[in-house]
Amino acid sequence: MLLAINSNNTNVKFALYDDDREIGSWRIGTDAKRTADEYAIWLIQLMALKGKTPADVTECLIASVVPDTLYNLRQLCRAYFGRDALVYGDASVKKGTVAKVDRPEEVGADRLVNTVAAHHFYGGPAIVVDFGTATTFDVVDADGNYCGGVIAPGINLSIEALRMAAALLPRVAVRRPEKVIGSTTVGCFESGIFWGYISLIEGLVARIRDEFGQPMKVIATGGLVPVFADATGIFDILDQDLTMKGMVIVNRLNRQA
């Protein structure tokens, strides 16, 4: 079985796969100081609830945009699962896509893995909108190449930044207000966050399509997809597990190498 580990700025996600079938997935807050032992205590108990043990893991793959987490995640795989993990981005690991941008080495692992999965499952050209710490828009051409994109502040980050900068604004949850025009301070804040984000998504997708010059399907992924999916018709495909599915494909590609 494959243990896929995706380390992002907010969470580290672990998923266990038997070929293409997900056995279980678990998230923990990203903390560069968390040791391999701490990961293991938490993860092995959760795996046990699915009837799995470390002995069931035969492969490990790590994709990370937080370099400081890599050492302890590698140690976790080596010490507790008896495997040397493949690390997406290492020179010896096949990426499954070509980054056709000015600085390919700067492209985040998650964005490349999303590109691999988007092309494999849905074809191209496509735009992948990933709701994470940042909201990213990744452009995938018909051949499955990564062609650049857009990085915007994530919605939770935007809420926190505005709240901290404005003394009278309270903490609010991300939800869909019934009206765009708010009649209270909280209502105005909620509307600006929610409908402002919808406008950002629709506006950027339209501009990307115009600039790319070809019809493009739009794929949404990330934990906040359900919050926005019903408020706009811009998304053609909803796939919250796109990144982890991409890691399965990348692992298979490297296994066959």
- Residue 68 assigned as binding residue: no
In angstroms, the CA 79 to CA 123 distance is 39
- Residue 110 assigned as binding residue: yes
- Residue 232 assigned as binding residue: no
- Residue 140 assigned as binding residue: no
Q: What is the DSSP letter of 101?
A: S
- Residue 133 assigned as binding residue: yes
- Residue 158 assigned as binding residue: no
In angstroms, the CA 114 to CA 152 distance is 17
- Residue 108 assigned as binding residue: yes
Chain centroid to CA 45: 24
In 3-state terms, what secondary structure has residue 71?
helix
Which residues are known to be catalytic?
A: 110
- Residue 31 assigned as binding residue: no
Beta bridge partners of 15: 4, 25
- Residue 69 assigned as binding residue: no
In angstroms, the CA 168 to CA 156 distance is 18
In angstroms, the CA 208 to CA 224 distance is 22
Both tokens of 184, joined, read 């209270």
| Binding site, annotated residues for K(+) | 130
| Binding site, annotated residues | 6-13, 108-111, 130, 133, 185
| Binding site, annotated residues for ATP | 6-13, 133
